[in-house]
Structure 1
Amino acid sequence: GPSSGRGRSTFLRPEFTPLILEAALGTGTTTIWGGKRPPMPLRLSYAGPAFRHERQQLGRYREFTQVGAELIHPLGASTVAPDAELVSSARAVLDAVDLTSHTTLLVNHLGNLDDRTRFCSALVTWLSPRRRQLSPLAQAQLDAGGQGLLRILDSSDDDDVSILSDPTCPVLADFVSSHDRQQFEETLDTLQALGIEAEVRPTLVRGLDYYTGLAFEFVSKRNPALTLLGGGRYDPLVQQYDARCGGIGFAAGVERMALTLAEGSDAAAAAAAEAGSTLGHARTVALVYEPSVSLVTALATANALRADGFTVYMRHSGNLKKQIGSAVDHGARLLLRLDSPTTCVLKDLHDPQDRTGVPYPLDKVRDALMRRLFAGIEWMDST
């Protein structure tokens, strides 16, 4: 960091994700779990100031406030469930402050590190003879090479856009494996089934080099250059701590949301302030589901409960016994088991007399949970 003028260096936090991972997965005794492997999956949220030394403009400041969430999970054959859950949770943040109608969801698949290396090599070969036609910033990015080349794709300079729109220019999607492309399509189908429309933007890249796989942004409809909330998958970063796990997260800029809300009602602005101050203090319910219940039904139920103020814990891998065991490890008080698309069972994990739970029609369980909440039941919040 820059010198303070007194012989000391000052380091300011530019982002949260690496710090969250160190606190959760690090081996030091001062980490959250004292260097031990935490129960998986982890759902972590945060809010606080961050700092970046860049040119200031409307909605982009050197000191700004972020709220965000990270989902760290064991890697399996599919990332569709955690990806769809995280994006739907991000949309719920915008729902809570009445901003969804003001935004467009853009998505892209960035491939894995090998895919990107091959793509960047092809892009350098293609762009080098056209270097002088690029903007000064794009020329500098081309000269620097590496993963930073992806940022050329996100350029808004007219000359860069014109060159990159040439049909012979390499396209990142052509370098992504068929397996990853299929996962991407399944994620989009799941989001659509949840009522979340996404626009595939092949030039969408994230500003940080550790992103791989799914990347997404909610941008302002009035000012598409203004990203209100963005995120993506960052498996390589997680695997520096645990090779068996991956992660996906998002962050939203409070100042940018406030700027957009200023165009709306005072009530919406108040809702934004309340949402930011209460982030992470909802009640915890563990949701598990039988194989006969679709991912869409499970996520739709989780989203509805989260909208009611509950923290919902889910594990998308393992059989029902492992899902329940994981819920116990996370300290959940109530277990919601989806037995079919229309029926469920609500069980108190801390009550030895409650051996089988209470069955409910799925469309009535939210009322049952709210009655328990307002009855003054003692809850344990998720960590």
Structure 2
Amino acid sequence: MTKTSSFSAPKGIPDYVPPGSAEFVAVRDGLIRAARLAGYGHIELPVFEDTGLFARGVGESTDVVSKEMYTFPDRGDRSVTLRPEGTAGVMRAVIEHGLDRGQLPVKLVYNGPFFRYERPQAGRYRQLQQVGIEAIGVDDPALDAEVIAIADAGFRGLGLDGFRLELTSLGDETCRPQYRELLQEFLFGLPLDEETKRRAQLNPLRVLDDKRPEVREMTAGAPLMIDHLSESAKTHFEQVLGHLDALGVPYVVNPRMVRGLDYYTKTTFEFVHDGLGAQSGIGGGGRYDGLMAQLGGQPLSGIGFGLGVDRTVLALQAEGKTAGDAARCEVFGVPLGEAAKQRLVVVAAHLRAAGISVDLAYGGRGVKGAMKAADRSGAKFTLVLGDRDLTEETIGLKDMATGEQRQIPLDEVVGAVREALDVSS
């Protein structure tokens, strides 16, 4: 009878265990690598922050703040919240540590878990894993294009190609207020339910993001921000598109796009993969020019993105692709007896110090069991050491692909294994 644990992971929070965890790590590291190549430095953020940071920075009218945050009092009766997104925390850190007073733009990359309380389903978790970047302090359409191109390169570098980039402009402070009034006038003339009317009062753009068919039908003729941009916002957006064209980054302009966070202005974008069904977004972001001042810092602009590691893994699977190999050692050691095990442990340490991955057959297995373990390990070579080998100061090096085995001097094992691995690769 199989014994099971009395505990399981919380609902909606996935575990990543071998061998599948290798793909998760490969996707995460691949998305980070694209940012590193563009000069983004690492920032490590707290997992929880003062609740007010997210309420003020993300927006109290958003679903994230009003419905999805994990908020609780700590032992000092202070209200803290598990981070639902990364941008507000990055801005807080930039202000607190004075990074905004140095060289601009401040370019930062981060990764890790974020938390939102919502109904768990495929690709939508309560603990979601993201890679994010922020470029703060310079309002330049070329920087917008760089941020978008980094995300595009990250996805393509993993072998993903069945996605599309959708983007639009959400205007700036010179045209947003007038558009808000125009949109509200339109929405207040519709037979909306009470909750949707309240949303239209607080943040009318959010109504355009409503997924219910009846609401989408009613708002089909709504005025769109992209048709009411100021000259400066229009010029900015056209220049972003021009840079993307020059970089060869394909895109689709989606005038009805509305991101779920209040701080977005001007360039706003999302990467979509239709192979994921209803939860098709694999990442997105935009410009947030008023956020730093809103959080008590200088009136500096910024742009960034958050890319879903979980979603990207699912998108690769939808395309029948994988990223990363399961953690496998290059060499597997088979000791025949306790004296041989003691020596082979030292040999393994020397090989690891030389950068070669090594595992051993532990637990006093016989020859047959140890060789089966070597087969299952996926190692390219096996080192076999017995009492006779110890006497002769040699060790057996077996090629697992061909079955060929040869004896090599123990004091030459590191060089011999390196040479064998180079030849086999």
Report if TM-score (shorter chain) is over 0.5.
yes
Q: In structure 1, what is the equivalent of residue 267 of structure 2? A: 214
State the SS of the aligned residue for 2:153.
helix
Q: In structure 2, what is the equivalent of residue 127 of structure 1? A: 187
CA contact (8 A) 1:232 1:249 kept: yes
Q: In structure 1, what is the equivalent of residue 204 of structure 2? A: 149
| Structure 2, gaps ≥5 residues long | 1-69, 328-425
Aligned residues: 255
State the SS of the aligned residue for 2:85.
coil
Deviations 1:120-172 (A, max 9, x none): 2222211222124xxx5xx5233244553212112222212222223xx3221
With normalisation by structure 2, the TM-score equals 0.55
- The alignment's C-alpha RMSD in Å is 2.6
| Structure 1, gaps ≥5 residues long | 274-383
Q: In structure 2, what is the equivalent of residue 25 of structure 1? A: 95
Q: In structure 2, what is the equivalent of residue 292 of structure 1? A: none
Q: In structure 2, what is the equivalent of residue 200 of structure 1? A: 253
Which residue among 69, 83, 86 is the counterpart of 2:147? 86
Does 1:185 find its partner at 2:238?
yes
1:214 Cα shift? 0.3
- Change in 2 beyond 3 A, CA 1:131/1:259: same
238-247 vs 119-128, greater mean Cα deviation: 238-247
Q: In structure 2, what is the equivalent of residue 50 of structure 1? A: 114
1:220 Cα shift? 0.5
122-131 vs 244-253, greater mean Cα deviation: 122-131
Does 1:98 find its partner at 2:159?
yes
With normalisation by structure 1, the TM-score equals 0.61
Deviations 1:328-354 (A, max 9, x none): xxxxxxxxxxxxxxxxxxxxxxxxxxx
Q: Give, as a single letter, the amino acid of the residue that structure 2 aligns with 1:159.
A: E
CA contact (8 A) 1:45 1:68 kept: yes
Cα distance in 1 between the residues matched to 2:230 and 2:100: 35
CA contact (8 A) 2:123 2:279 kept: no
Which residue among 21, 24, 39 is the counterpart of 2:103? 39
State the SS of the aligned residue for 1:107.
strand
1:53 Cα shift? 1.8
Deviations 1:221-245 (A, max 9, x none): 3336411010000010123455452
Deviations 1:13-44 (A, max 9, x none): 11111111111222xxxx3x5x7723211110
Cα distance in 2 between the residues matched to 1:234 and 1:7: 33
Q: Give, as a single letter, the amino acid of the residue that structure 1 aligns with 2:153.
A: A
Q: In structure 2, what is the equivalent of residue 159 of structure 1? A: 214
Which residue among 292, 305, 317 is the counterpart of 1:262? 317
Cα distance in 1 between the residues matched to 2:272 and 2:164: 5
